[in-house]
Amino acid sequence: MQTQTVNNIPNNTASKRVISSVAIVTALVSFTMLFATLMLGFTIYRLTSPVWPPQGMRRPDLFLPMLSTIIIGLSSLIFYKFENALKNKELKLPYLITTIALGAGFMVAQFIFWQSLKAQGIFVSSGLYPSIIYAFTWIHAAHVVAAFFMLIWLYAKLQKEAELEMQILRTENVGKFWHFLGIVWLIMFITIFIL
């Protein structure tokens, strides 16, 4: 029995592409709603506060959030180069390894940032403003940890998977999640730490 093809892709790969694309888009829409809800709450709080930051509070030092922004931006750029190389039938695993290392670096920077907040006397219990900072960064970090393990899973799968279309499919889906987290962090950095 001959396998049907759609655009020169075996039928089973085409159906896997549709199913996995719908799954990742559904997950990203859910995550977008979560972060949008948090951002809406923050915006309402910010607009109704007579002074910013609230009285008695000070802004956290920008060095570590800026470093985190640079790290996650670089990781997204390098992963994008990895995706393009794979589409050109080149499996450049050093790009993926660098992305994984930068993801770990981002998490280390976040951990140091939380420690620096405590050193500055900014605790979750210090009020609504610090609890917003912790909530945003903790929720984002939880998603980064999930994406980090997806990157490691992708690395393991690419070592074994021989079919290029499946390699591309897996890479695209993990990439959508990784790039999404980079965009969310950039929005958080600008709205929470800069404005």
Number of domains within the chain: 1
Q: Which helix (H) or strand (E) holds 9?
A: strand 9-10
pLDDT tens-digit map of 4-57 = 443 444 456 667 777 777 888 899 999 999 999 999 999 998 899 888 888 778
For residue 57, the model assigns a pLDDT of 80
6 in helix, strand or coil? strand
Q: What is the extent of the structural domain holding 145?
A: 5-194
For residue 1, the model assigns a pLDDT of 39
pLDDT tens-digit map of 95-133 = 999 999 999 999 999 999 999 999 988 899 888 889 999
Closest to 130 in 3D by CA, of 42, 190, 63, 30:
42
For residue 3, the model assigns a pLDDT of 39
Question: What is the value of pTM for the model shown?
Answer: 0.87
Question: What is the percentage of the chain residues whose pLDDT exceeds 70?
Answer: 93
CATH number at residue 114: 1.20.120.80
